[in-house]
Amino acid sequence: MKNSNILVIGGTGKTGRKVAERLTNLNQMVRIGSRNESPSFDWGEASTWSAALEGMDKVYITFQPDLAVPGALEAIEGLVKEAKQSGIKKLVLLSGKGEREAELCEQVVIHSGIDYTIVRASWFNQNFSESFFLDPIIAGHVALPKAEAKVPYVDTDDIADVVVASLTDDQHNSQIYELTGPRLLTFPDVIKEISMATGRNIQFTSISLSAYTKMLEEFGVPTDYIWLINYLFSEVLDNEKNSIVTHDIEKVLGRRSKDFSEYVQETVITGVWNQATNKDEKVVA
């Protein structure tokens, strides 16, 4: 394995921080792409991109909040142009499984003339411990639309391992990997597993997408995130591709993907789900 200079955009995020840690342990030179780093990287300020790319060989690209949002395609086009001018040799793009808009961004990378790997991930396990589903779990009442949708949730540990392999081994050049967990779960399935593991009575209620959107607006959730939530629930969860379990993690890493139950057992130890706000909440027997 050759040592490389690797820019990890979103290097403090759910996958980026794990990718950066793994690369550092492999003696790769890692630069974190973040607004708070020096040089800084800000998706909203294209003037920061050149300095962040300078001296780098490879780039791991994550876009916030998602490649499907308006403006993402133009940002990826601009970054790829800067990457070519900076002499970047390899791009690894984190994309969303079953997201048509994200696939437009993928095409920019694929046709860039730079070596690439596309990593399409299903919904993350960590959305329930590090993202927008956490607060309702803590409160003990989760209300979501599309209760019947079946999702093969994937763990960010697995994503990070595939990304690192893609960045450090040329055999993954020109590949598109679709990453999922080993089985399908509905939202009630997920909440039941977390409820049992925590010993808490966490309730699940199925609501309409319009009611969920209204609730997010009342809680002051930013409009771009509300747009994304609407897109994910109306377009992505209804996409039959997203209910397919793949074996690309095993193909790349030579081991099975992490099951949701394993993630739950690892996470419950941290206590993140036991910050109950309702003192009268009943404990599951």
> Can you give the pLDDT of all 285 residues of the chain as single tens digits?
789 999 999 999 999 999 999 999 999 999 999 999 999 999 999 999 999 999 999 999 999 989 999 999 999 999 999 999 999 999 999 999 989 899 999 999 999 999 999 999 999 999 999 988 999 999 999 999 999 999 999 999 999 999 999 999 999 999 999 999 999 999 999 999 999 999 999 999 999 999 999 999 998 988 888 998 899 998 888 777 788 999 999 999 999 999 999 999 999 999 999 986 444 454 443
H helix or E strand, kind and range, residue 90: strand 90-96
Say what the pLDDT of residue 98 is: 87
**Alpha-carbon distances of 16 from 13, 70, 160, 239, rounded to whole Å:** 5, 22, 7, 27
Q: What are the residue ranges spanned by the domains of the chain?
A: 5-123+154-179
Say what the pLDDT of residue 224 is: 85
Residue with token string 């070596």: 115
Distance between CA atoms of 78 and 63, rounded to whole angstroms?
A: 13
Say what the pLDDT of residue 1 is: 72
Say what the pLDDT of residue 185 is: 97
How many CA atoms does the CB half-sphere of 59 hold within 13 Å?
A: 29
- Domain spanning 5-123+154-179: which superfamily? NAD(P)-binding Rossmann-like Domain (3.40.50.720)
Query: What does the block give as tokens for 166?
Result: 């893609």
Q: pTM score, two decimals? A: 0.94
Q: CA torsion sign, 93 to 129 to 188 to 211? A: negative
Radius of gyration of the chain (CA): 19
How many CA atoms does the CB half-sphere of 41 hold within 13 Å?
A: 25
Distance between CA atoms of 19 and 115, rounded to whole angstroms?
A: 19
Q: State the DSSP code for 10.
A: T
